[in-house]
Structure 1
Amino acid sequence: MTRLHVVTGKGGTGKTTVAAALALALAAEGKRTLLVEVEGRQGIAQLFETEALPYEERKIAVAPGGSGEVYALAIDAERALLDYLQMFYKLGSAGRALKKIGAIDFATTIAPGLRDVLLTGKACEAVRRKGRDGRPVYDSVVMDAPPTGRVTRFLNVNDEVAGLARIGPIHNQAQAVMRVLKSQDTAVHLVTLLEEMPVQETVDGVAELREAGLPVGGIVINMVRPRILDAEAVRAAEGHRRTDVAKALSQAGLGGARRGGHAERLVGPLLEQAREHAERLGLEREQRAELAGLGLPAYELEFLGDGGDLAGLYRLAADLRKQGVAEEGS
Structure 2
Amino acid sequence: MSRLQVVSGKGGTGKTTVAAALALALAREGRRTLLVEVEGRQGIAQLFGTEALPYEERKIAVAPGGGGGEVYALAIDAERALLDYLQMFYKLGSAGRALKKLGAIDFATTIAPGLRDVLLTGKACEAVRRKDKAGRFVYDHVIMDAPPTGRITRFLNVNDEVAGLARFGPIHNQAQAVMKVLKSPDTAVHLVTLLEEMPVQETADGIDELRAAGLPFGRVIVNMVRPHHLDEDTLRTAAEGRRPEIARALSRAGLGGARRGGLAERLVEPLLAQAAEHASRVELEREQRAVLAGLEVPTYELPLLGSGMELAGLYELATELRKQADDE
Fold match, TM over 0.5?
yes
Structure 1 residue 257, shift from structure 2 partner:
4.8
User: Equivalent residue for 2:101?
Assistant: 100
Q: Residue 230 of structure 1 contacts residue 278 of structure 1 at CA under 8 Å; is this kept in 2?
A: no
**Counterparts in 2 of 1:137-176, with a 5 A limit?**
137-162=138-163, 164-176=165-177
Structure 1 residue 211: Cα displacement: 0.3
Q: Which runs of 4+ in 1 moved over 3 A?
A: 234-240, 256-264
Structure 2 CA distance, aligned partners of 1:321 and 1:249? 44
For residues 308 and 174 of structure 1, do their structure 2 counterparts lie closer, same or farther at Cα, with a shift above 3 Å needed?
same
- Partner residue of 2:32? 32
Matching residue of 1:253:
none
CA contact (8 A) 1:231 1:275 kept: no
SS at match of 2:153: helix
Please list the CA deviations of residues 298-317 of structure 1 after superposition, one character each: whole Å capped at 9, or x if unmatched.
Answer: 01011111411111111111
- For 1:241, the equivalent position in structure 2 comes to 245
Aligned to 1:76: 77
Q: Deviations over 1:138-190 (max 9, x none)?
A: 11000000000011000002233246422211111111000000000000000
Q: Cα RMSD over matched residues?
A: 1.9
Please tell me whether the aligned partners of residues 163 and 173 of structure 2 are also in contact (alpha carbons under 8 angstroms): no
Q: Number of residues paired by the alignment? A: 322
Conservation of the 8 A alpha-carbon contact between 1:231 and 1:279: no
Matches of 1:10 and 1:231, distance apart in 2: 31
- Residues 22-73 of structure 1 deviation map (CA, whole Å, 9 limit, x = unaligned): 0000002221100000000000000000000000000000110132110000
Counterpart CA distance in 2 for 1:243 and 1:111 is 65
Aligned to 1:202: 203
- Tell me the alpha carbon deviations over residues 82-111 of structure 1, each in whole angstroms, 9 at most, x when there is no partner: 001110111111110011112212322343
CA distance in 1, matches of 2:155, 2:24: 25
How far apart are 1:12 and its partner, in Å? 0.4
Q: State the shift of 1:191 in Å.
A: 0.2
The residue aligned with 1:61 is: 61
State the match for 1:217 in structure 2.
218
Residues 171-186 of structure 1 aligned to structure 2 (within 5 Å): 171-186=172-187
Distance 1:179 1:242, change over 3 A: closer
| Amino acid of the structure 1 residue aligned with 2:4 | L
Q: Distance in 2 between matches of 1:241 and 1:158?
A: 64
Aligned to 1:324, what secondary structure does the other structure show? helix
Q: Secondary structure at the match of 1:293?
A: helix
Q: TM-score, normalised by structure 2?
A: 0.93
* CA distance, structure 2, for counterparts of residue 54 and residue 207 of structure 1: 35
8 Å contact 2:34–2:73 — kept in the other structure?
A: yes
User: Do 2:9 and 2:148's aligned partners in 1 also have CA atoms closer than 8 Å?
Assistant: yes
Measure the CA separation in 2 of the matches of 1:201 and 1:242: 40
Q: CA deviation at 1:272?
A: 2.5
Structure 2 residue runs of 5 or longer lacking an equivalent are none
Sort the Cα spacing of 1:274 and 1:243 in 2 relative to 1 into closer, same or farther, 3 A: closer
Corresponding position of 1:13: 13
Q: Structure 1 counterpart of 2:309, which letter?
A: G
* Distance (whole Å) between structure 2 residues aligned to residue 76 and residue 126 of structure 1: 14
* Alpha-carbon offset, residue 224 of structure 1: 0.4
CA contact (8 A) 1:111 1:164 kept: no
In 2, are the aligned partners of 1:234 and 1:271 still within 8 Å (CA)?
no
* SS of residue in 2 equivalent to 1:323: helix
